[in-house]
Amino acid sequence: MDLKNIRQEIDTVDRQLLELFKKRMMYSIQVAEYKKANGLSVLNSEREKEILDRVEKDGGEFGYQARILFSDMIELGKGLQYDIMGSGESLKKTIADAQNVIRKHKDIRIALQGIEGANSHEATSHLFPECQPIFYKSFGKVFRAVESGEADYGVLPVENSSAGSVSAVYDLILKYRFYIVEALNLPIEHCLGGLSKSELEDIEQVWSHPQALAQCSDFISEHNFKTVNCTNTAVAGKSIAEEKRLNCGAICTEKACQEYGLKVLVKGCQNYKNNSTRFIVISKQLIIPENSDKISLCFSLPHSKGALYTVLGRFNANGLNITKLESRPREHGTPFEYLFYLDFDGNVKSDKVVKMLCALSEELPEFSFLGNYREENYHRND
């Protein structure tokens, strides 16, 4: 049999499979109507396991592939059932009650970590040009300020394009479950700043935040510098200015050098030219701007085989692009149990997106909808 004939046979089988698939989905609808009438839940883990174990056994040499195929069909059927049974009403109401405008007038208070001249300060100045920045020493204090009402919003870095995630912030996101209402990708250019009398050959130590040190690791290794961790890049610059040590430099922004009277010894010392950090705006109140294009969730997983694959398959089935998946150990609980943070492209005005979110909210332990917001790319003029 040649390739053309083989493909014709495959097309024939596909048509048969499609008709059977449609028939199976119709039965899923009937199951949903029965469950709704009798007060039963959609999820029946024992029944799912029974089906998947059977098809894997009966599938012979293709048992593993058969299990994946039937797992996907079961998930699609459950999606139909959740929709018919009116699942996720609480989530729908939360979304419907959301405001659509972020307040940015001059009396609004913005919490951020660090001091003047830090990258967080620049991100805040761009996002809230007329608002009052309030500086805190730690990320945790930013969250507590928003929680107490001391600040209206918080601005925090969550990820760098070269150094990766800011794990401490993700841990706090999963702990507090505040809403994300806006995001900004800020280009980051690091400088080596020193005292006015210092030269590059004088520097033996560089001070900065661990993320900035990681972003400049090639430069640091090339010059064999010793590193000193600081709470913030601008704090490093200020500390160098106050310590007045000719052999120490700070990796910080050019703006921080200007702010604290340092001389720029080297400009652009990061590993990659296109270095950027993603900042988010957190709020206790859900705000979904009209042009939102990013959705964030957090959840844990049921203790079942292939649970993460099953969840990710929902996004694939709906044609939705996942842009971030971060796992973090649970703060309290059994070792090696994780919470997951997930970003994907989408808007809650989409019917298929809302249906999927409602299904996930019913099925996943500790599910939280963290917001639907706009992510902006900031381009400097200079």
> Which active-site residues does the annotation give?
277, 279
The radius of gyration computed from the CA coordinates of the chain, to the nearest angstrom, equals 26
The continuous run of DSSP H or E covering 372 comes out as strand 368-377
Provide the pairing of β-strand 109-113 with 153-160: parallel
Token digits of residue 284? 């206790």
CA distance 199 to 263: 9
Distances in whole angstroms, Cα of residue 251 to Cα of each of 194, 198, 210, 262, 342: 9, 14, 10, 11, 31
CA distance 380 to 214: 23
Please state whether 12 falls in left (phi above 0), alpha (psi between -120 and 50) or beta. Answer: alpha
CA distance 179 to 55: 42
Specify which residues 4 forms β-bridges with: none
Q: List Cβ neighbours of 204 (8 Å cut-off, separation of 6 or more).
A: 225, 226, 247, 248
CA 5, distance to chain mean position in Å, is 47
In this structure, which amino acid lies at residue 354?
Answer: V
CA distance 98 to 65: 43
